[in-house]
Amino acid sequence: MPQPITPPGQRDIAATAKDDQDDLVFLDEQPAEPTDASATGVWRVMIVDDDEDVHSTTTFALGNLDMQGRPLEFLHAYSAAQARDLLRSEDDIAVILLDVVMEQDDAGLHLVRHIRETLKLADVRIILRTGQPGYAPEIDAIRDFDINDYKTKSELTRIKLYTTVTSAIRSYEQIRKIDDSRRGLNQIVHASTELMALHGVQDFATGVLAQIGDLLGIAASGVLCVKDCPGDGDCDELMVMAACGRYAHLGRNALQQHAPLADSRLRALMEQAMAQQRNVYAADAITLYFAGKASRDFVACLDVAQAPTDIDERLLDVFCGNVAVGLDNVELVSHLHDAAFYDQLSKLPNRTRLLEMLEERLAAAAQPGHDQATLALVDLDHFAETNDALGHQFGDLLLVSVANRLQAELGRQVTAARIGGDIFALLGDSSVVTPAVLLAMFQRPFRIDGQDVQISATLGLVRLDDHEGTGGDALKDADIALKRAKSQQRAGYCYFSRAMGVEIRERVRMMHALRTAFGQRQLFVMYQPQIDLETRRPVGAEALLRWQTEDGKFVSPDRFIPIAEYSGLIIDLGEWVLRTACRELVAVRAAGHLDFVMSVNVSQVQFRHPHFLDMLRRALEETGAPPRNIELEITESMAMEEPDLLIEMLDQIKETGVSIAIDDFGTGFSSLSYLQRLQVDRLKIDRTFVTEITGSARGSSIAEMVIQLGRNLGLTVIAEGVEDERQAHILHALGCPLAQGFLFARPMKADALADWLNGGR
Ligand code: C2E
Ligand code: MG
Ligand code: MG
């Protein structure tokens, strides 16, 4: 049996044939392995000759030989026409041994032209043979049609035939390899471009697996993992980023999070690739190592039916280098994405992500037949106090356990998000997202650090089915409902209603209008005189802010002051009122009323402002108003909040020389002992108690009590809202020295006040 051919005369033949073939032959110094023809595992040689003997002698001469590790397989055509038929149906033919003279003298050459030009088969090697030396083709034809060799049949001894065919097969193999490389590189470029278009880590990782499959020409079945290796060397587990084919189930856990790799065979292969920091190729699996930056490495493992060829290996090496960069980037982008869309503490979606989901849900809800959804905000009651009392770390743990409970008990049908410090949002079916279900979750304590913590929550809910507007609007509506629920302090929840929306929108409209009005000086101050009940002479006036809109209507301060407070405009507005009142005081004093006291209302928001004292001092100084003729009115409800802060503030205010009155007194619940500690000068009996004096039998009791209280504490008392003589009379009889009300004078403009004081009343 003839030995496998290692072509001894190869160089000679190559030299006599075509120069550029040399390059191909020696391009690859590595031991050749089967390339693409691996599909069949043979070299296909086609014999085209009208002489049957030639067929049999050729197959006899070459039949038992392996070339480049593969046997030959012969295809037989006995005419050019038959060859054409065969070429149409057969592919992957390595060599054609072609007789030049068949049906016609040049039938062979026609066939060559057909092969190269019509069928566009560029790879197949062609060896021309002829019985008659005179039929040699033109040298041009040999070049143009890429013919490997031309031999007369007598020249082709058995040995020459081996060497010629072997050389042609090697050429063919090289051409195919170059072809494969080019195709592979194209594929890598294509794959990389495709991958770069994928932004999510998940998509990218899945894309990488699919592209590896494409490169190898197989349906991908494998897993891609990431592993964090922080500096201290102890590496985390391999986490599955993507899985496909028969490993698809390894991909995600129930919560759609990356899962640790459970398959021990894959784990071993991946660990090996990671340890060696290179790709590992085996007969049944390839393991690809992607060196990531920042101590994160990626590794993919795919099933293969046979070991990849060296070309495939080198292509995969190039591919891995390309993709590692991409993976790193996409991971970075995804981290940024996570930071932008997920709350780092609870791992829940954040406000931004919730808004996106709301939009999706609203879009879906617009389709008929869709389930009705509800958005609920869950505000933990007194969380700030818990945080202060037990520390932020404890607070964080509490938030995490609330997040976990919400998620675990509501299941995946409901989206839980954390949209603020202690505010969670739930978005889901209206039958599930209900006050009953949600509040029930806060009936059991949360176990934190081995301790049971009982907290309650307040809910604001919006039904999305009749919602009009954006996701952002829905969130605002839920917030409005939440605020309402908190202020009501009853059921612990509140559903948003259209009426609430109208009210809020009206308030927002008013806020803008008020700001404009202030800027355009549509606001002014009126003064309501205060009189001595004994002498009925004026002792002072209360400055009251007025807003007359462009259409001439007055807006009550009871409506716009809260809005000014809410929007912060009260800071500037309040300062302006104070200065206006101070200037008016200076004017009144200049007219001779030296003991006149000007009362100015001060809102809580102003009072708490860090620069309030400075503002007060400057206003007094710059207007020249004597402090002892200025009185600030604070409401009783304000006096009851934050007692220590108030006591300290009042001490400082008193140092400026102004006096203090408690407005609307009797509506709150100030205790006697507390009042004693407050540096105040005057109590203003609220209008409702003045009205009561004549309205009911026991009516006088509160007014009387306040008057008594004032006397005991050494404070003056003034009654407001005195509308008739009987009230004035009773108050005077009870010992109330001062009064203010429509009976004596309505609030009036500055010039009217001057007239009134000068006896025009
Ligand atoms: P307040 O400080 O208790 O002011 C007394 C209110 O009672 C004034 O209403 C006044 O017009 C009204 N009034 C006076 N006498 C009578 C009467 O005999 N019968 C009746 N029915 N009402 C009488 P106004 O001006 O509408 O002010 C309402 C509230 O708005 C004030 O209550 C005060 O809390 C607030 N406010 C007014 N101006 C200012 C201001 O410049 N700054 C701040 N912070 N609040 C202000
Ligand atoms: Mg007042
Ligand atoms: Mg009042």
Interatomic CA distance for residues 165 and 13, integer angstroms: 11
Q: Which helix (H) or strand (E) holds 530?
A: strand 523-532
Q: Which two tokens stand for residue 110?
A: 């026609």
What domains appear along the chain, each with residue ranges and CATH number? Answer: 37-180 (3.40.50.2300), 198-341 (3.30.450.40), 351-496 (3.30.70.270), 509-760 (3.20.20.450)
From the CA of 602, give the closest atom in ligand 1. Answer: 44
Q: How far is the CA of 746 from the centre of ligand 2 (A)?
A: 14
545 lines ligand 1 (CB under 6 A): yes
Interatomic CA distance for residues 533 and 726, integer angstroms: 12
Rounded average pLDDT over 606-635? 95
**DSSP code of 91?**
-
Q: For residue 252, what pLDDT is reported?
A: 63
More confident residue, 221 or 200: 221
673 lines ligand 1 (CB under 6 A): no
Tell me the β-bridge partners of 281. 286
Strands (DSSP E) found in 131-236: 149-152, 222-228
Q: How far is the CA of 528 from the centre of ligand 1 (A)?
A: 9
Say if CB 457 and CB 442 are below 8 A apart: yes
540 lines ligand 1 (CB under 6 A): no
747 lines ligand 1 (CB under 6 A): yes
Rounded average pLDDT over 37-49? 78
Instruction: Kindly report the number of other CB atoms within 10 A of residue 356's CB atom.
Output: 13
Say if CB 128 and CB 150 are below 8 A apart: yes
Rounded average pLDDT over 120-137? 79
Q: How confident is the model at residue 487 (pLDDT cuts 50, 70, 90)?
A: confident
Interatomic CA distance for residues 98 and 365, integer angstroms: 73
For ligand 1, atom 20, which residue shows the shortest CA distance?
Answer: 721
Rounded average pLDDT over 300-321? 84
Q: How far is the CA of 664 from the centre of ligand 2 (A)?
A: 7
Q: How far is the CA of 673 from the centre of ligand 1 (A)?
A: 28
Measured CA distances, 309 to 38, 211, 313 (Å): 9, 17, 6
* C-alpha closest to that of 438 among 387, 485, 500, 385: 485
Q: How far is the CA of 17 from the centre of ligand 2 (A)?
A: 114
Say if CB 259 and CB 277 are below 8 A apart: no
- Residues near ligand 3 ion, CB 5 Å cutoff: 663-664
Rounded average pLDDT over 322-334? 70
Rounded average pLDDT over 559-576? 93
Q: How far is the CA of 629 from the centre of ligand 1 (A)?
A: 20
More confident residue, 184 or 551: 551
Tell me the β-bridge partners of 425. 377, 417
534 half-sphere exposure, CB direction, 13 A CA radius: 5
Residue 406 pLDDT more than 90? yes
720 lines ligand 1 (CB under 6 A): yes
* C-alpha closest to that of 299 among 213, 184, 198, 208: 208
Residue 391 zone, left/alpha/beta (φ > 0; ψ -120 to 50; rest): left
- pTM here is 0.51
Q: Which two tokens stand for residue 190?
A: 């294509």
Cβ contacts of 199-202, under 8 Å, gap ≥ 24: 199/330, 199/333, 199/334, 199/337, 200/330, 200/334, 200/337, 201/241, 201/330, 201/331, 201/334, 202/241, 202/242
Say if CB 461 and CB 478 are below 8 A apart: yes
Interatomic CA distance for residues 109 and 114, integer angstroms: 9
Q: Are strands 451-453 and 446-448 parallel, antiparallel or unpaired?
A: antiparallel
Q: How far is the CA of 592 from the centre of ligand 3 (A)?
A: 28
692 lines ligand 1 (CB under 6 A): no
Ligand at shortest distance from the CA of 740: 1
Say if CB 492 and CB 461 are below 8 A apart: no
Say if CB 113 and CB 64 are below 8 A apart: no
Measured CA distances, 559 to 501, 544, 562, 563, 675 (Å): 17, 13, 6, 7, 29
Cα 291 off chain centre by? 28
Say if CB 386 and CB 394 are below 8 A apart: yes
Strands (DSSP E) found in 81-237: 93-99, 125-130, 149-152, 222-228
Q: How far is the CA of 628 from the centre of ligand 2 (A)?
A: 18
End-to-end Cα distance, the chain: 141
From the CA of 557, give the closest atom in ligand 1. Answer: 30
572 lines ligand 1 (CB under 6 A): no
Rounded average pLDDT over 637-647? 77
Q: For residue 341, what pLDDT is reported?
A: 82
231-253 per-position pLDDT tens digit:
444 567 788 888 889 998 887 65
Q: Which helix (H) or strand (E) holds 82?
A: helix 80-89
Residue 180 pLDDT more than 80? no
Q: How far is the CA of 702 from the centre of ligand 3 (A)?
A: 15
Q: How far is the CA of 526 from the centre of ligand 2 (A)?
A: 12
Residue 690 pLDDT more than 90? yes
For ligand 1, atom 41, which residue shows the shortest CA distance?
Answer: 545
Say if CB 628 and CB 658 are below 8 A apart: yes
Rounded average pLDDT over 662-691? 85
CA angle 436, 440, 445 (to 5 degrees): 165
Q: How far is the CA of 707 from the centre of ligand 1 (A)?
A: 21
721 lines ligand 1 (CB under 6 A): yes
603 lines ligand 1 (CB under 6 A): yes
Candidate ranges 137-146, 525-534, 562-571; pick with highest mean pLDDT: 525-534
Q: For residue 208, what pLDDT is reported?
A: 83
For ligand 1, atom 16, which residue shows the shortest CA distance?
Answer: 721
Rounded average pLDDT over 660-679? 82
705-725 per-position pLDDT tens digit:
899 999 988 999 999 999 999
Q: For residue 171, what pLDDT is reported?
A: 85
556 lines ligand 1 (CB under 6 A): yes
Q: For residue 540, what pLDDT is reported?
A: 97
For ligand 1, atom 46, which residue shows the shortest CA distance?
Answer: 601
Q: How far is the CA of 664 from the centre of ligand 3 (A)?
A: 4
Q: How far is the CA of 568 from the centre of ligand 2 (A)?
A: 20
563 lines ligand 1 (CB under 6 A): no
Cα 46 off chain centre by? 63
723 lines ligand 1 (CB under 6 A): yes
Residue 50: what residue type? D
Q: For residue 142, what pLDDT is reported?
A: 72
Q: Say which residues have a Cβ less than 8 Å from residue 632's Cβ, sequence separation at least 6.
A: 599, 600, 601, 602, 653, 658, 659, 660, 661
Residue to substitute in 523, 531, 544 for testing ligand 1 pocket (most ligand atoms within 8 angstroms of CB):
544
Q: For residue 718, what pLDDT is reported?
A: 97
From the CA of 544, give the closest atom in ligand 1. Answer: 38
For ligand 1, atom 24, which residue shows the shortest CA distance?
Answer: 557
From the CA of 564, give the closest atom in ligand 1. Answer: 44
Ligand at shortest distance from the CA of 599: 2
Residue 17 pLDDT more than 70? no
Phi–psi pair at 223, nearest 5 degrees: -140, 145
Q: What is the DSSP string of 380-427?
A: ETTHHHHHHHH-HHHHHHHHHHHHHHHHHHH-TTSEEEEEETTEEEEE
For ligand 1, atom 33, which residue shows the shortest CA distance?
Answer: 601
Interatomic CA distance for residues 305 and 367, integer angstroms: 48
Residue to substitute in 569, 575, 601 for testing ligand 1 pocket (most ligand atoms within 8 angstroms of CB):
601
Q: How far is the CA of 628 from the centre of ligand 1 (A)?
A: 22
Q: What is the rounded (10 degree) CA torsion for 676, 691, 536, 542?
A: 60
Say if CB 164 and CB 127 are below 8 A apart: yes
Cα 555 off chain centre by? 44
627 lines ligand 1 (CB under 6 A): no
Say if CB 238 and CB 260 are below 8 A apart: yes
561 lines ligand 1 (CB under 6 A): yes
Interatomic CA distance for residues 417 and 403, integer angstroms: 8
Measured CA distances, 84 to 44, 47, 334, 520 (Å): 16, 12, 57, 96
Q: How far is the CA of 544 from the centre of ligand 1 (A)?
A: 6
Mean pLDDT estimate for the chain: 84
From the CA of 603, give the closest atom in ligand 1. Answer: 44
Interatomic CA distance for residues 744 and 734, integer angstroms: 19
